[in-house]
Amino acid sequence: MYRTKTCGELRINNVGESVTLAGWVQRVRKMGGMTFVDLRDRYGITQLVFNEETNADLCAQANKLGREYVIQVVGTVGERYSKNDKMPTGDIEITVTALTVLNASDVPPFTIEENTDGGDELRMKYRYLDLRREVVRRNLELRHKFCLAVRHFLDEKGFLEIETPVLVGSTPEGARDFIVPSRMNPGQFYGLPQSPQTLKQLLMVAGMDRYFQIVKCFRDEDLRADRQPEFTQIDCEMSFVEQDDIINTFEEMAKYLFKEVRGYDLGDAPFLRLPWHEAMRRFGSDKPDMRFGMEFVEVMDVLKGTGEFGVQRGGLYRRDCGRRLRFLYAQAVGRTDQLCEVAANRCEGPCLRPRR
């Protein structure tokens, strides 16, 4: 076996055991006749000790190790003299009796640590190295736990996870399709699905009244903050339900996921529900960030006829067109004293100024 234990599981109660570990060299520290090596795998870090007095050849071999070397060691678990309470394995160390270099490594282009010195472009170029960092590993583990919890919850609610085809006929949706040429049908193409919309509706027609899948979607469109050409979504469909049935089901799922994955209880109170028109009137967005407390305030009727601008005189004001004069608190430059006084008398909260 390449290893009998991982680098994250040894504790003080393992002292005296003979173990075999394998992993990547995080760092090497030479201190007189002692060499300390931090060995890392995805489970954690364990400190290795090489003593020149007991085995000079082995210590010399350890001194040649570099960052990201892949090694295998055999040794005995011992209690650390100076414990490190910042790491789970900080109470123990491994006194090494055998060392095997499984794969040498060039000096990595950036440090494989949480606070790395590599920029975004460099880390994306060497993505396989970036994936070794603990912060990235934690994100992957979180996604894994999240997907497991989603499947468990929806399975308990009677949903079936059904895979739908990826190579499909192009269907009109909100963006352009990615197309794949067909070798067997020259001049014809498959369209990668922007979502399984048509396919899941066919499943409803087929009698699969509760369907879901964690599915890849593809949209050939410009990048946005919450969108990229290839993304994953929890895709669901239900039959024989009303609006409240759908909202209640997925509100319950959100609460379950927060509690199961993050240990955070959202309570039993229902989520706040806002009609679309109210959300747009108060926040200017159909998905408002409720942490942002400064809501839009309608002051057109008060400001009409009070200033020099056409919109204040009413020349550009059309109620039936739904145009509203909105003010932004954070940028107060350019307002006249008269407008400040009128707005302050009207608004219960901070005064806002029009967007430019």
Backbone angles phi, psi at 340, to 5 degrees: -60, -45
- Tokens linked to 337: 């004293």
| Res 50 pLDDT > 90 | yes
In the prediction, which pLDDT does 180 show? 94
Digit-coded pLDDT (tens) for 81-106: 999 999 999 999 999 999 999 999 99
| Res 43 pLDDT > 60 | yes
In the prediction, which pLDDT does 169 show? 87
What mean pLDDT value characterizes the chain?
Answer: 87
Q: What is the number of alpha carbons within 13 Å of residue 261 lying toward its C-beta?
A: 22
Higher pLDDT residue, 333 or 288?
288
| Res 209 pLDDT > 60 | yes
In the prediction, which pLDDT does 345 show? 61
Q: Are strands 92-103 and 44-51 parallel, antiparallel or unpaired?
A: parallel
Digit-coded pLDDT (tens) for 211-258: 999 999 999 988 877 778 999 999 999 999 999 999 999 999 999 999
Segment 6-24 mean pLDDT: 96
Instruction: List all residues 6 or more positions away from 160 whose beta carbon is below 8 Å from its beta carbon.
Output: 208, 210, 211, 212
pLDDT category at 347 given cuts 50, 70, 90 is: low
HEC secondary structure over 187-243: CCEEECCCCCHHHHHHHHHCCCCEEEEEEEEECECCCECCECCEEEEEEEEECCCCH
State the Cα–Cα distance between residues 94 and 3, nearest whole angstrom: 14
Q: pTM above the 0.85 mark?
A: no
